[in-house]
Chain A
Amino acid sequence: MSDVKQIVLDYVKKEYLEEGDDREVTYSTPLISGGIVDSFSMVSLKLFLENKYNIKIPNDTATPEAFDSVNNIVEVLKKFNVQ
Chain B
Amino acid sequence: MSFNDTVREIYKKDLEAIRQGGIYKEERIICSPQSSEIEVEFPMGTDQKKVINMCANNYLGLSSHPEVIEAARKGLDHRGYGMSSVRFICGTQDIHKELESKLTKFLGTEDTILFPSCMDANAGVFEAVLTEADVMIADRLVHASIVDGMRLCKAQTDNYKHSDMAHLEEKLQFHQKARFRMIITDGSFSMDGDLAKLDKIVELAEKYNAMVFVDESHATGFIGKTGRGTHEHCNVVGKIDIITTTLGKALGGASGGCVSGRKEIVELCRQKARPYLFSNTIPPVVVSGANKVLDIISRTTERRDKLARNTAFWRKGLTEAGFIIKEGETPIVPVMLFNAKLSQDIARMLYDDGIYAVGFFFPVVPKGQARIRTQLSAAHEMHHLEKALDAFIKAGKKFEILHKTKQEIIDRYGM
A35 touches B366 (CB 8 A): yes
A41 touches B366 (CB 8 A): no
Interchain nearest-CB distance for B144 vs A (Å): 9
Q: Mark A21-56, 1 if CB is under 8 A from B, else 0.
A: 000000000000001001011011001000000000
Q: Which single member of A18, A35, A38, A44 contacts B158 (CB below 8 Å)?
A: A44
B158 touches A40 (CB 8 A): no
B156 touches A40 (CB 8 A): no
Give the distance in Å from the alpha carbon of A38 to the alpha carbon of B367 in the complex. Answer: 11
Q: Mark A11-24, 1 if CB is under 8 A from B, else 0.
A: 00000001000000
Give the distance in Å from the alpha carbon of A41 to the alpha carbon of B366 in the complex. Answer: 13
In chain B, residues 156-176, which have Cβ atoms closer than 8 Å to a Cβ of chain A? 156-159, 161-162, 171
B159 touches A43 (CB 8 A): yes
B161 touches A40 (CB 8 A): no
Give the distance in Å from the alpha carbon of A47 to the alpha carbon of B159 in the complex. Answer: 11
Chain A neighbourhood of B159, CB < 8 A: 40-41, 43-44
**Chain A: interface residue total (CB-CB under 8 A):** 8
Is B413 an interface residue when CB atoms closer than 8 A count as contact?
no
User: Please, which residue of chain A has its CB at the minimum distance from the CB of B162?
Assistant: A18
**Given contacts A35-B366, A40-B147, A47 and B161 within 8 Å (CB-CB):** no
Q: Which single member of B147, B156, B157, B367 contacts A35 (CB below 8 Å)?
A: B367
Chain B neighbourhood of A40, CB < 8 A: 138, 140, 147, 159
Interchain nearest-CB distance for A53 vs B (Å): 16
Give the distance in Å from the alpha carbon of A18 to the alpha carbon of B368 in the complex. Answer: 14
Is B313 an interface residue when CB atoms closer than 8 A count as contact?
no
User: Please, which residue of chain A has its CB at the minimum distance from the CB of B136?
Assistant: A43
Consensus secondary structure, chain A interface: loop
Chain A neighbourhood of B171, CB < 8 A: 44
Is B180 an interface residue when CB atoms closer than 8 A count as contact?
no
A18 touches B147 (CB 8 A): no
In chain B, residues 27-84, which have Cβ atoms closer than 8 Å to a Cβ of chain A? none
Is B362 an interface residue when CB atoms closer than 8 A count as contact?
yes
**Given contacts A35-B362, A40-B140, A40-B147, A47 and B367 within 8 Å (CB-CB):** no
In chain B, residues 196-234, which have Cβ atoms closer than 8 Å to a Cβ of chain A? none
Interchain nearest-CB distance for B281 vs A (Å): 32
Chain B neighbourhood of A41, CB < 8 A: 140, 159
Interchain nearest-CB distance for A54 vs B (Å): 15
Give the distance in Å from the alpha carbon of A38 to the alpha carbon of B366 in the complex. Answer: 9
Interchain nearest-CB distance for B235 vs A (Å): 27
B158 touches A47 (CB 8 A): yes
Give the distance in Å from the alpha carbon of A44 to the alpha carbon of B170 in the complex. Answer: 12
Give the distance in Å from the alpha carbon of A18 to the alpha carbon of B140 in the complex. Answer: 12
Give the distance in Å from the alpha carbon of A43 to the alpha carbon of B294 in the complex. Answer: 39
Give the distance in Å from the alpha carbon of A18 to the alpha carbon of B366 in the complex. Answer: 13
Give the distance in Å from the alpha carbon of A79 to the alpha carbon of B170 in the complex. Answer: 29
Interchain nearest-CB distance for A12 vs B (Å): 13
Chain A neighbourhood of B157, CB < 8 A: 43
Interchain nearest-CB distance for B177 vs A (Å): 11
Interchain nearest-CB distance for A25 vs B (Å): 15
Give the distance in Å from the alpha carbon of A78 to the alpha carbon of B171 in the complex. Answer: 27
Chain A neighbourhood of B161, CB < 8 A: 18
Interchain nearest-CB distance for A4 vs B (Å): 20
Interchain nearest-CB distance for A6 vs B (Å): 20
Interchain nearest-CB distance for A80 vs B (Å): 19
What would 15 A/B residue contacts be, using CB atoms closer than 8 Å?
A18-B161, A18-B162, A35-B362, A35-B367, A38-B140, A40-B138, A40-B159, A41-B159, A43-B158, A43-B159, A44-B158, A44-B159, A44-B171, A47-B156, A47-B158
Please name 7 further chain A to chain B contacts, defined as beta carbons within 8 Å, in addition to the given A43-B159, A47-B156, sorted by A numbering: A35-B366, A40-B140, A40-B147, A41-B140, A44-B158, A44-B171, A47-B158
A-B pairs, 5 with minimum CB distance: A35-B367, A43-B157, A40-B147, A44-B158, A41-B140
